[in-house]
A and B are shown apart, each in its own frame.
Chain A
Amino acid sequence: MTATADKAGSQAVETVNVTIDGKAISVAKDTLIIRAAEQVGIEIPRFCDHPLLKPAGACRQCLVDVASPGPDGNLRAFPKPQASCTMTVTEGMVVNTQNTSEEAERAQKGVMELLLINHPLDCPVCDKGGECPLQNQAMSHGNAESRFVDVKRVFEKPLALSSEILLDRERCVLCQRCTRFSDEIAGDSFIDLQNRGAMQQIGTFNEDVLGFDGYGPVGIAAEDESGGAFSSYFSGNTVQICPVGALTSSAYRFRARPFDLVSAAGISEHDSSGSAIRTDHRRGVILRRLADNDPTVNEEWITDKDRFAFAWQNMPDRLTRPLVRNDEGDLVEASWPQAIAAAAAGLREAVSGKKAKGVGVLPGGRITLEDAYAYGKFARVVLGTNDVDVRTRIASDEEQSFLGSSVASTGLGVTFADLERAPSVLLVGFEPEDEGGVVFLRMKKSSPKQQVFTVAPFLSRGAHKLGAQLVEAVPGYEGTVLAGLTKAADAVKALSEPGSVIVVGERVAGAPGAFTEALALADRTGARVVWIPRRAGERGAVEAGALPGLLPGGGDVAVAKARKAVASAWGVDDLPRTRGRDVTGILTAASARQLDALVVGGVQPTDLTADMIKALKAAKFVVSLEVRRTDATELADVVLPVAPPSEKSGTFVNWEGRLRGFATAIKTDAMSDHRVLDMLARELGVDLGTATVDAVNAELVTLGVLEDSARMAAPAVEAPAAKAAEKAASVAAGTKSLTLASWHQLIDEGSLQEGEPYLAGTGRIAVARMSPATAEAVGVKEGLVSVQGTHQSSIDLPVVITDMVDGVVWLPAKSPGSWVAATLGLAPGDSVSVKGGV
Chain B
Amino acid sequence: MTDSNDAVWEVNRERDGGHQPFESNLPKLSGMGEVLAPVAGFGISLRNFFRPTVTEQYPREKVPTMPRYHGRHQLNRYADGLEKCIGCELCAWACPADAIYVEGADNPLDAAMSPGERYGRVYQINYLRCIFCGLCIEACPTRALTMTNEYELAGPTREGLIYEKQDLLAPMGENMLAAPHPMVPGVGDEAYYRGEVTEVDPAQVDWVREHRPEEPTLPENRKRHAEPVEADRG
Contact = CB atoms under 8 A, between A and B. Distances in A.
Contact of B141 (A124, A158, A257, A260): A124
Interface string A104-147: 00000000000000000001110001100000000000000000
Interface residues of A, number: 14
Interface string B101-142: 001111100000000111000000000000000000000011
B97 to A, nearest CB: 15
A835 interface: no
Interface stretch (A86-94, A248-256, A353-361, A728-736): A248-256
B106 A259 contact: no
B118 A254 contact: yes
A256 B103 contact: yes
B88 A125 contact: yes
A257 B105 contact: no
B207 interface: no
A130 B94 CA distance: 12
A253 B86 CA distance: 13
A154 to B, nearest CB: 9
B86 A125 contact: yes
Contact of B104 (A130, A158, A256, A259): A256
Given A124-B141, A125-B117, A254 B106 contact: yes
Interface in A142-159: 157-158
A260 B116 contact: no
Contact of B103 (A125, A129, A253, A255): A255
A458 to B, nearest CB: 41
A125 B106 CA distance: 10
A531 to B, nearest CB: 44
B80 interface: no
A259 B103 contact: no
B106 A129 contact: no
A801 B118 CA distance: 45
Contact of B106 (A123, A130, A253, A257): A253
B162 interface: no
B163 interface: no
Interface centre among B86, B87, B103, B142, by most chain A C-beta atoms within 10 angstroms, is B103
Contacts of B107: 254
A257 B116 contact: no
A125 to B, nearest CB: 5
A129 B104 contact: no
B93 A124 contact: no
Interface centre among A130, A254, A257, by most chain B C-beta atoms within 10 angstroms, is A254
B104 A255 contact: yes
Contact of B93 (A130, A157, A158): A130
A776 B89 CA distance: 62
Nearest to B93: A259
B174 to A, nearest CB: 29
Interface string B81-96: 0000011111011000
B106 A124 contact: no
A124 B103 contact: no
Contacts of B92: 257, 260
Nearest to A125: B118
B89 A125 contact: no
A254 B117 contact: yes
Contacts of B86: 124-125
A783 B110 CA distance: 37
B105 A129 contact: no
Contacts of B106: 253-254
Interface string B60-90: 0000000000000000000000000011111
Contacts of B104: 254-257
Nearest to B121: A254
Given A125-B88, A125-B116, A129-B88, A255 B93 contact: no
Interface in A254-269: 254-257, 259-260
A256 B89 CA distance: 8
A254 B116 contact: no
Given A124-B141, A125-B117, A125-B118, A254 B93 contact: no
Contacts of B103: 255-256
B88 A255 contact: no
Nearest to B119: A254
Contacts of A255: 103-105
Contacts of A158: 117
Contacts of B88: 123-125, 129
A255 B93 CA distance: 15
Interface string A63-80: 000000000000000000
B194 to A, nearest CB: 13
A260 B87 CA distance: 13
Nearest to B106: A254
Given A124-B141, A125-B117, A254 B90 contact: no
B73 to A, nearest CB: 18
Contacts of A157: 117
A130 B92 CA distance: 12
Interface in A221-279: 253-257, 259-260
Nearest to A260: B89
Interface string A416-427: 000000000000
A242 to B, nearest CB: 17
Nearest to A250: B106
Nearest to B139: A124
Given A124-B86, A124-B141, A257 B118 contact: no
Contacts of B87: 254
A131 to B, nearest CB: 12
Interface in A317-335: none
Contacts of B118: 125, 254
A431 to B, nearest CB: 35
B102 to A, nearest CB: 8
Interface string B22-54: 000000000000000000000000000000000
A257 B89 contact: yes
B128 to A, nearest CB: 18
A129 B89 CA distance: 10
B117 A257 contact: no
A158 B116 CA distance: 12
A257 B103 CA distance: 9
A597 B87 CA distance: 54
A254 B109 CA distance: 14
A254 B105 contact: yes
Nearest to B116: A125
Interface string B190-221: 00000000000000000000000000000000
B90 A124 contact: yes
Contacts of B116: 125
A286 to B, nearest CB: 14
Contacts of A253: 106
Contacts of A125: 86, 88, 116-118
Nearest to A257: B89
A257 B87 CA distance: 10
Nearest to A129: B88
A260 B122 CA distance: 13
A158 B141 CA distance: 22
Contacts of A260: 89, 92
Nearest to A154: B188
Contacts of B90: 124
A253 B116 CA distance: 13
A444 B99 CA distance: 49
Given A130-B93, A259-B89, 15 more contacts: A123-B88, A124-B86, A124-B90, A124-B142, A125-B88, A125-B116, A254-B87, A254-B106, A254-B107, A254-B118, A255-B103, A257-B89, A257-B104, A259-B93, A260-B89
27 contacts: A123-B88, A124-B86, A124-B88, A124-B90, A124-B141, A124-B142, A125-B86, A125-B88, A125-B116, A125-B117, A129-B88, A130-B93, A253-B106, A254-B87, A254-B104, A254-B105, A254-B106, A254-B107, A254-B118, A255-B104, A255-B105, A256-B104, A257-B89, A257-B104, A259-B93, A260-B89, A260-B92
| Nearest 9 CB-CB pairings of A with B | A124-B88, A254-B118, A125-B118, A124-B141, A257-B89, A254-B104, A254-B106, A125-B86, A254-B105
